[in-house]
Amino acid sequence: MFQGSIVATVTPMRDGSVDEASLRKLLRFHRESGTSGVVPAGCTGEAATLTFDERMRVLDVCLEEVGEAMPVIPGTGSNSTAETVRLTKAAADAGAAGALVITPYYNKPTPEGQYVHYRTVAEAVDIPIMLYNVPSRTGVNMLPETVARLSEVPNIVAIKEAAGSVDQVTAILSLCDITVLSGDDPLTLPMMAVGAKGVVSVLANVLPGEVARMVALHAEDPDAARQLHLTLRPIMKALFVETNPGPVKHAMAELGLITTGELRLPLVEPGEESRQAMAPALETARKLLAS
């Protein structure tokens, strides 16, 4: 389940509400494009500004559209352990295949606090848990030693590693056999070279077929995978010219994949300078989608 190209889906918005029609269209696109799994309501899905009911509704839509075709692994994290338990239990009850749980943000818990937080969440449910380490969002790094300790909890089975360090992935895998997935599109191939099993991808929102093919080619034809990575790299970089998911939503709207690039405050759509900077990469993406 925790392998291949898993998409960190955006949450399409229209007039301040979740755009279910665009979300369903997007999910069908993934089902037809070789995506291995779906992660709704993570950072890319603007989970921090979705209500509890919205998060559950997004999950329900994902399960309805692709739940029989691929695992749906919603983000259920919060900076409150009690709220994380509530979200994760609700996701399990709804039929989620697993849950992605971000390191508590803002609180900056110590390694011991991280361990107790995750163990508490994992022990509250019987679905698999994927840790999510993204220091740029949370303000604190989850050390490899903490990951190794957590891997001993039976249903903590994977980690989305987005610290931006291949060495950190190497350290994790030297200490335990937890499944590692890249959380940084530009580092997917380097991380797979040291043992990661795939990616939870932002780029796959735009080019799911290409990301899935690159991950598969890593084992089958490394040179071809590298060439595809080089082709995709400018698009990967363009999707982070401003805070995610602003650029990827703009790209998707420009390419007709969702109706609008609307975000929920305090995020706003990319400025004119950023949109101009993205334009060449979007033209490349348009050609790839048409090919």
Residue 114's closest CA among 86, 76, 152, 143? 143
Please confirm, yes or no, whether 287 is among the known catalytic residues: no
Question: Hey, CA dihedral for 199, 203, 207, 213, is it positive or negative?
Answer: negative
**How many angstroms separate the CA atoms of 210 and 204, rounded?**
8
Catalytic residue among 105, 115, 160, 249: 160
Q: Judging by DSSP bridges, how do beta strands 198-201 and 156-161 pair with one another? A: unpaired
Q: Are 152 and 123 in contact (CB under 8 A)?
A: no
DSSP string, the chain: ---EEEEE----EETTEE-HHHHHHHHHHHHHHT--EEE-SSTTTTGGGS-HHHHHHHHHHHHHHHTTTS-B--B---SSHHHHHHHHHHHHHHT-S-EEEEPPPSS---HHHHHHHHHHHHHT-SS-EEEEE-HHHHSS---HHHHHHHTTSTTEEEEEE-SS-HHHHHHHHHH---EEEESSGGGHHHHHHTT--EEEESGGGT-HHHHHHHHHHHHH-HHHHHHHHHHHHHHHHHTTSSSTTHHHHHHHHHTTSSS-----TT--PPPHHHHHHHHHHHHHHHHHHH-
Please confirm, yes or no, whether 132 is among the known catalytic residues: yes
Catalytic residue among 132, 197, 237, 287: 132
Please identify every residue annotated as catalytic: 132, 160
